[in-house]
Amino acid sequence: MPNQPDISTHYTHGDLTAAIRGGVEKLGKTIDTVTVDDLAPVDEFHIGGRQASEHFLDQLNLTPEKHILDVGCGLGGPARFAASRYRCRVDGIDLTPEYVETGQAICKWVGLADRISLHQGSALSMPFADGAFDGAYMLHVGMNIEDKATLCKEVGRVLRPGALFGIYDVMKSGDGEIKFPVPWATTAASSAVASPAQYRDALREAGFTVIAELNRRDFAATFFEQLRAKTMAAGGPPPLGLHVLMGRNAPDKIQNMIQSIANGLIAPVELIARKA
């Protein structure tokens, strides 16, 4: 069962703000000229990157007057995309202090600090009032949280009636053992991959109705093939990319995940649910 210190340690880089600033400089930009789109390759830490975020968040009816919660916000990449694209206000919460600190710095770089607030803390016990938000989402977060029931209940607590909650997670789709490391876990002890049925049960118990579900396995396969071709054509990874976050063994983590998807063990899945 994953524990919070192990999860935070897995994601901690050590000098992440400086590493991303270095990537920005290699792009020929500065922290004053870099944009949300420039940062997308490192900001969108989930299968499909920005393309997946657009497809997923477009389903949540985000509008400028809404206040949205990003559960497991990481660096705040999807929060910055949501705030810039839909003009909504976003609060994010994440377990890893370095991600929150770096994310806050990046929000200032791109001029979104007035629309985004990032907080360090657990998604199982959030420092927000009941009914504080008009909607919520999480992207590739539940794989580190064993207690899906408490997670969904806590999200439900902070949502207003009728609000949408979107989940885009890597989920179990077949029998077999995942080879580690993967992007979300160094060992099986830090992984909590569950089936769509387990998510649906947790959502129903928390008072949600699932209104949409989509397995994005084929999309993932195409995305990784295109990414591989692009990397080979460029002679290596770009200045900003997920390798900046995942460190030296990034190729092993990604390859193990791709192989598990190809073998039918896991797949990225979207779930959209509405609070009663």
Percent of the chain exceeding pLDDT 70 equals 95
Distance (Å, rounded) from C-alpha 168 to C-alpha 21?
28
The whole-number average pLDDT for the span 104-129 is 97
pLDDT over 70 at 56, yes or no? yes
pLDDT band, residue 10 (cuts 50/70/90): low
Q: Kindly report, residue by residue over 90-114, the tens digit of the pLDDT.
A: 999 999 999 999 999 999 999 999 9
pLDDT of residue 192: 96
Q: What share of the chain is helix, strand, coil (3-state, %, to 5)?
A: 45, 20, 35
The whole-number average pLDDT for the span 148-153 is 98
Q: Kindly report, residue by residue over 231-263, the tens digit of the pLDDT.
A: 888 888 888 877 787 877 888 999 999 999 999
pLDDT of residue 12: 63
- Confirm if 85 and 40 have CB atoms less than 8 A apart: no
What's the mean pLDDT when you consider all of the chain?
A: 93
How many residues are there in the chain? 276
| CATH number, residue 228 | 3.40.50.150
The whole-number average pLDDT for the span 38-54 is 93
Question: Which range is least confidently modeled, 40-44, 67-71, 133-137, 162-166?
Answer: 40-44
Distance (Å, rounded) from C-alpha 171 to C-alpha 174?
9
Distance (Å, rounded) from C-alpha 129 to C-alpha 57?
24
Which residue segment(s) compose the domain that 141 sits in?
A: 4-275
Indicate the helix (H) or strand (E) that contains 248: none
pLDDT band, residue 6 (cuts 50/70/90): low
pLDDT of residue 8: 65
pLDDT over 90 at 48, yes or no? yes
* Number of compact structural domains in the chain: 1
The whole-number average pLDDT for the span 176-180 is 95
pLDDT over 90 at 212, yes or no? yes
pLDDT over 90 at 215, yes or no? yes
